[in-house]
Structure 1
Amino acid sequence: MHELALYGQIPSTRYEQVLNILAGVAAMKPQTAYERHLIYKPLRNRDEGRVNKKFPNRPVKPQIVVHQHLVRELAEGDFGKESPAISAKAEGGGVESAPWILRTQDVPEPETKNLVLRGTTETVMSSESLQHYADSSMYSFVAEYITEGHRFIHKDVVIHLHRILRFPAQAEPQSAPQNVLPPLDAFTLIDPSGAFVLEAAVRIDDRTKQSLVSAASEELMRFRDLMKGVVELKTPERLALDTRVR
């Protein structure tokens, strides 16, 4: 799967205005969206030690290692409660909560200048798969954060208007996700100005079909033109979206 995307920034003072405009454009009520994000660094290459079956005397060319990005949707009522990251059960009754999704994103393709185009995958994680991230010999915990905002759908364009919340500072360096989600008002903004990011994205299944790429690109550009005067949608610095492990 590949994703085509554009980004814009909204000052906090214009958030309600833009939210109402997007609701009118998409002809739908804003969908409140909270997400918990965990970032892990793989410590081993999957190709390490593999035998090259075609050329036994040559080592297998290692794949590029990227940071592992786990995402789970939250409800406002999830804050201020126990919430172990490596668990598939919600508190208070053993009901399955929203699953963890493993999201991987390639470096944006350099050929596209007017939008971001990159390979992306999303995989629903099982309880067994999540346990691997607790193994310190396989993965190193990097960071966790929360996004809050709203989501819209306009034709094939998924619109996410959000900002990033930072967990409260701890006395000791954090080496694993917290098992208790603090109350929502305990989080701090990563951008003190309170600005929001608007992400507009279209996904396609087959990058090799130029007709799909062209159709998705055109739809994204139409949305960009539709939002002129409201928000400037543009392409960020390509390498600022680099997820590779150095």
Structure 2
Amino acid sequence: MTSAPTRVLVVEDEAAAARVLMDEVGAAAGFVVAGHTCSGATALRRVVSDDEVDLVLLDIQLPDISGMDVLRRLRAAGCDVDVMAVTVLRDPSMLQAAMALGVVHYLLKPFTAATVRQKLEQYRAFHARRRAVAGHAIVQHEIDDVFTALRAMAVDSLPKGVGPESLHAVVTQLRRSGAMSATQAAEVLGTSRVTARRYLEYLTESGLAERRSRYGGAGRPEVEYRWSGDDSSPVPPTSAPDGCPDSST
């Protein structure tokens, strides 16, 4: 007998990130999108009143109430739905607080479609192991299997050659300037253009930057990368799904 798919509620107000999350959930075997909202209050009402949600992909910084408040209120209401926190924040205290509230994983922005796909696959393995031991007295090897599957979700998923500190530096500069070339990124990082381009292409694949040709100089046009992740950028925001405002946190 085939088990029912995992129903996922996406709570994300950044258009590009929400699109990647929903696309990957919809394409992943064993998962289905249960809905999308960019409001913490709406997510809270939906999850508490509706048992048709199995997993929440929860942005921590939302325009109305924080994802942490959503988590606290869910747990206070006795709701033990699985939650995967999604955030750009790298504060260790935030991580500890999220873990204390029972999040199954912590997905850092910026992320690629491949990263989301990997985390969903790892969650599916963890959920299957956990479901297999439900309803009977478990033995040691079953406990070990569950925790092995849980630890698998903590594997660093940045591609080879992309480091978190350098990525943060590129994101910070790109958000500040709005657009930059691989040459300019190389100056920020103190690396070669090839290495710098790897970071810019990673952001493009993540949906947080877009690639354009820069004209005006002699010779071939230079490729530039424009930030498209939030409203503070001079780039016009992309359309948000399900009528959400084009905003980012």
In which range does the TM-score fall when normalised by the shorter chain? under 0.3
Greater relative CO (CA pairs within 8 A, separation 6+):
1
TM-score of the two chains, using structure 1 as the length reference:
0.24
In terms of fraction of residues, the more helix-rich structure is 2
